[in-house]
Amino acid sequence: MRTPNFFSEVRRIQNRFHNLFDPVSEGGQVYPALNVYTDQDKITVTAEIPGLSPEDLDITVAHNLLTISGEWKEYTQDRPRRIERARGKFQRRLELPVAIDSEKVEATVKDGVLTLVLPILESEKPRKIRIEAKA
Determine the Cα–Cα distance for residues 68 and 31; give it in Å rounded to an integer.
10
pLDDT-derived band at 19 (thresholds 50, 70, 90) equals: low
* In the chain, where the domains are located: 6-123
First to last CA, the chain: 102
104-131: pLDDT as tens digits? 999 999 999 999 999 998 877 778 888 9
Query: Which of 3.40.50.2300, 2.60.40.790, 3.30.70.20, 3.40.50.720 is the CATH number of 6-123?
Result: 2.60.40.790
> Looking at residue 53, what DSSP letter applies?
-
pLDDT at 108: 95
- Choose among 45, 21, 25, 27: nearest CA to 35: 45
25-67: pLDDT as tens digits? 444 456 788 999 999 899 999 999 988 889 989 999 987 889 9
pLDDT at 104: 93
pLDDT-derived band at 87 (thresholds 50, 70, 90) equals: confident
Q: Where are the alpha helices (DSSP H) in 30-100?
A: none
